[in-house]
Amino acid sequence: MMAQPTREELEAWDRQHVWHAFTQMAHYEPLVIERAQGARLTDIHGRDFLDGVSSLWCNVHGHRHPHLDAALRAQLDKVAHTTSLGASNSTTITLAKQLVDRSPAGLEHVFFSSDGASSIEAALKIAFQYCQQSGEARERRTRFAALGCAYHGDTLGSVSVGGVDRFHTMFGPLLFDVVRVPAPEMHRLPPGITEALALEYYVDQANQVLAAHHEELAALIVEPIVQGAAGLLVHPPGYLQALRELTRKYDILLIADEVAVGFGRTGTLFACEQEQVTPDLLCMGKGLTGGYLPMAATLATDEVYEAFLGDHSEQKQFFHGHTYGGNPLAAAVALASLELFDQEQTLEHLPEKAARLAEHLARLAEHPHVGDVRQRGLIAGIELVEDRETQQPFPWQQRRGAQVCQHAMDQGVWLRPLGDVIVVMPPLSIRLDELDQIMQAVTHGICQATEAGKAVCE
């Protein structure tokens, strides 16, 4: 056995050796979690924090849930890993059946991978290869359409369809060219466009782009209902369904990226359900294993799948795979997580929590430096601005969002912002009193990091 490192060693090694994602390591202050229980994280100094962002949007039923822990241990007594290349295992098969049964009707085939980004890569390549194998008319459909400020992951294909300038512009020379559909930004509507006109306006924009490019497009990819990393942009109701109609009209595949919104986040198991939409391809990740293990999946319709069937000599199989795709340990936890949705009536308890969150947000919306609050289910974004009237942002160098989250930590709540948008995305299992504590810490943080707005802060 290796000697147990001291707390000082852990923090020093963390700084020296662990290269953290999306983190300026020159200024990194170690936060080293030792254990967790429910929505509570405990660090190596014994400090407790509520997990206000579900360990980056993936925890569902809380940490160390006995049912999930037991499922993982039971699978360990069978087998930890088998390959999905030409072979299978009983746990992963059972999960595939459950995912098909619980996802929008018509999605029948499950391609497993390891992370959200890899589920996107798989979807893009499936769409591309589908077009190559679906007759001459479709062979010219080699490009993709995606929304403005979309986020689909950090591998090169998913970055290509992404549109968050801050993350993506620098890699431009490595990326393939994508057709952009303007994203609905309800809090910064163009002049003359009211909220009532927004749906029609943005659908018309999408129609114009697709009309101009449809002959070269294999697919349109969209984060349904809420665009996550863009700053939690909530689309106007009806937008997803309209995109479904447009993609049918122009014979373009629709890829729904449910990596962030899947598994109950927006109130239904999948966000597509809210507009009765079945996409041609649906990507899931983050919440699939309840936040326990890396696993992702790309679901496809019969029509897409059948283009890959043929004799060996035709070479039509999907030329793509990940070593750990469909890993049985991850599948066992994912299955147990789906069972918990039934046993604990996770979705049935959400409206009460979403309503409590909405109450807190309504109060915060009065703060002079809150430009917008937006919410769908247990996703909320609070956007800080320098000037409410003009929606003028704070100079980004001031890092107000990060300051808010720093102050929230003093109140025992851990959050991670998207620039100046404060993200609140607790585990779905969060209790109402915990939700109150999170929102009190957010309010405290905003009041500390901006000039106090009296009515809200006192």
Q: Binding residues for ligand PLP, per CB under 6 A?
A: 115-117, 120, 151-153, 223, 228-229, 257, 259-260, 285-286
Residue 69 Cβ, how far from ligand PLP at the closest point, in Å? 22
Residue 140 Cβ, how far from ligand PLP at the closest point, in Å? 28
Strands 296-301 and 107-113: antiparallel
Q: Is 284 or 300 the residue whose CB approaches ligand PLP more closely?
A: 284
Phi, psi of 384 (to 5 degrees): -85, 140
Q: Is 63 or 322 the residue whose CB approaches ligand PLP more closely?
A: 322
Q: Is 220 or 446 the residue whose CB approaches ligand PLP more closely?
A: 220
Residue 149 Cβ, how far from ligand PLP at the closest point, in Å? 12
Phi, psi of 97 (to 5 degrees): -60, -45
Determine the residue with CB nearest ligand PLP: 116
How far from chain centre, in Å, is Cα 456? 30
SS3 384: strand
Asked whether the CA dihedral 429, 435, 439, 440 is positive or negative, the reply is: negative
Q: What are 50's two structure tokens?
A: 């509520």
CB 113 within 8 A of CB 119: yes
Q: Is 44 or 282 the residue whose CB approaches ligand PLP more closely?
A: 282
Q: Which residue has the tokens 């999948």?
A: 270
Strands 143-147 and 217-222: parallel
Residue 229 Cβ, how far from ligand PLP at the closest point, in Å? 6
Residue 286 Cβ, how far from ligand PLP at the closest point, in Å? 6
DSSP letters, 182-226, are PPP-GGGPPTT--HHHHHHHHHHHHHHHHHHHGGGEEEEEE--SE
Q: Is 110 or 260 the residue whose CB approaches ligand PLP more closely?
A: 260
Q: Is 153 or 427 the residue whose CB approaches ligand PLP more closely?
A: 153
Residue 395 Cβ, how far from ligand PLP at the closest point, in Å? 27
Name the residue among 78, 97, 12, 17 with its Cα closest to residue 334: 97
CB 235 within 8 A of CB 201: no
Q: Is 288 or 364 the residue whose CB approaches ligand PLP more closely?
A: 288
How far from chain centre, in Å, is Cα 151? 9
Residues 6+ positions from 108 with CB-CB distance below 8 Å: 100, 299, 300, 301, 302, 305
Q: What are 296's two structure tokens?
A: 């992702």
Q: Which amino acid belongs to residue 261?
A: V
Q: What are 241's two structure tokens?
A: 């369904």
Q: Burial of 59 by CB count in 10 Å (0-12 exposed, 13-18 middle, 19+ buried)?
A: buried
Q: Is 330 or 446 the residue whose CB approaches ligand PLP more closely?
A: 330
Q: Is 291 or 453 the residue whose CB approaches ligand PLP more closely?
A: 291
Residue 51 Cβ, how far from ligand PLP at the closest point, in Å? 16
Q: Is 257 or 383 the residue whose CB approaches ligand PLP more closely?
A: 257
Paired with 375 in beta bridges are: 380
Residue 422 Cβ, how far from ligand PLP at the closest point, in Å? 17
Name the residue among 208, 267, 278 with its Cα closest to residue 241: 278
Residue 380 Cβ, how far from ligand PLP at the closest point, in Å? 15
Phi, psi of 108 (to 5 degrees): -120, -15
Residue 142 Cβ, how far from ligand PLP at the closest point, in Å? 22
